[in-house]
Structure 1
Amino acid sequence: MKKILSISLLLALFGGLLIACGGDSNDDQVSVSDAWTRVTAPSQTTGAIYATLESPDDNELTGATVPDDIAGKVELHETTGSGGDEMMEDDGMSDDGMSDDSMGATGETGMEGQSGSTMMGMKPVSSIDLPAGEQVNLEPGGYHIMLLDLTGPISEGDSIPVTLSFESGDDVTVDATAREG
């Protein structure tokens, strides 16, 4: 009986040590990789940040911030309409290259087709769904983080810290490196 009690006590102590030494695991946190932004012209007042996101559980990207000395405002955006990235490249347009006067009363930006219909545009979104275990790409022609009221140009090699906020309550900060489109 003493032997069984001693073994049980030893197992309980050993199990407690294993739990205490386990440390925090980031396996349940959203993974953010390949964060980047485009180089901007000195007169440009908008930019965008792109990245690849993956969450182990169903989650949502609900917001993003950058330091005030980079941009006055940050929003989650979605490119809408037809044409997508191919049309933007053909026309020399990009998510981050639209002028402030192309912003409509609804907050949506776009280019008018000959029939007056919007061929492509951008609109703010309140969140971006992250299905469990799937990669979600923030990319030109799709979802992206819009930087408004840039305080200056973004040059090749610049690193912009961006903090992403998620429905789960997690915040993840990564550096987005500036590169040519």
Structure 2
Amino acid sequence: MNLKTLFGASMLATASLFAQVHAADADHVKVINPYARAVPPTAAASAAFMVLKNTSDHDTALVGADSDVARVTELHTHIHKNGMMMMRPVEKIDLPAHKATPLQPGGYHIMLINLKHPLKPGDTVHLTLTFKDGSTKQVTAPVKMIHAGMGMKMYHH
């Protein structure tokens, strides 16, 4: 075995070991019960919800999402301001190690803006989730009818 071959084999073994120790964040995030909100035919936006469980020993974050049904896809949260609940985009959603983080009505969620077509029960939404390390996970979410009693609390004064 010449020196070049030995060096190449050594580098390959090191890279393989590094990949095993530092698996992609997407491999350690379990997606539980994904779904998207059905909307009337005239609605320009909807949202997707799920629980993201980080099974790894290190914290990560959801830093982006993309969807086949919307021209714009953003990470959002709800905030209370002046007695009203309002949605605001966020740069990331932290996913602490060994914790489940809900994306739910009234909290963090994935906003689907400028829908390409109405979302009705029985449809599916394909999402690509992007994590802090750049890794991605494909998710298929069924479209469901969501009623205000399913966790959405809006305050009006």
TM-score, normalised to structure 1, is 0.64
Matching residue within 153, 164, 171 for 2:118: 153
Partner Cα separation in structure 1 for residue 24 and residue 92 of structure 2: 22
Counterparts of residues 69-148 of structure 1 (less than 5 Å): 70-81=69-80, 117-148=82-113
Shift of 1:26: 8.3
Partner Cα separation in structure 2 for residue 26 and residue 148 of structure 1: 28
Equivalent residue number for residue 28 of structure 2: 29
Equivalent residue number for residue 64 of structure 1: 65
Structure number with higher relative contact order (C-alpha < 8 Å, ≥ 6 residues apart): 1
Partner Cα separation in structure 1 for residue 117 and residue 124 of structure 2: 14
Equivalent residue number for residue 16 of structure 2: none
Partner Cα separation in structure 1 for residue 63 and residue 51 of structure 2: 15
Backbone CA RMSD of aligned residues: 2.2
Partner Cα separation in structure 1 for residue 66 and residue 83 of structure 2: 29
Looking at CA atoms only, which structure, 1 or 2, has the larger radius of gyration?
A: 1
Shift of 1:119: 1.4
1:165–1:26 CA distance, 2 compared to 1 (3 A): closer
Equivalent pair of 1:76/1:124 in contact (CA under 8 Å): yes
Equivalent pair of 1:159/1:175 in contact (CA under 8 Å): yes
Pair 1:166-2:131 in alignment: yes
SS of corresponding position for 2:114: strand
Partner Cα separation in structure 1 for residue 46 and residue 100 of structure 2: 23
Shift of 1:75: 0.3
Which segments of 5 or more consecutive residues in structure 1 lack a partner in the other structure? Answer: 1-22, 83-116
- Percent sequence identity over matched residues? 37
Q: Name segments (4+ residues, structure 1) moved above 6 Å.
A: none
Partner Cα separation in structure 2 for residue 26 and residue 164 of structure 1: 13
Which segments of 5 or more consecutive residues in structure 2 lack a partner in the other structure? Answer: 1-19, 147-157
Equivalent pair of 2:34/2:49 in contact (CA under 8 Å): yes
Shift of 1:118: 4.7
Aligned length: 124
Equivalent residue number for residue 144 of structure 2: 179
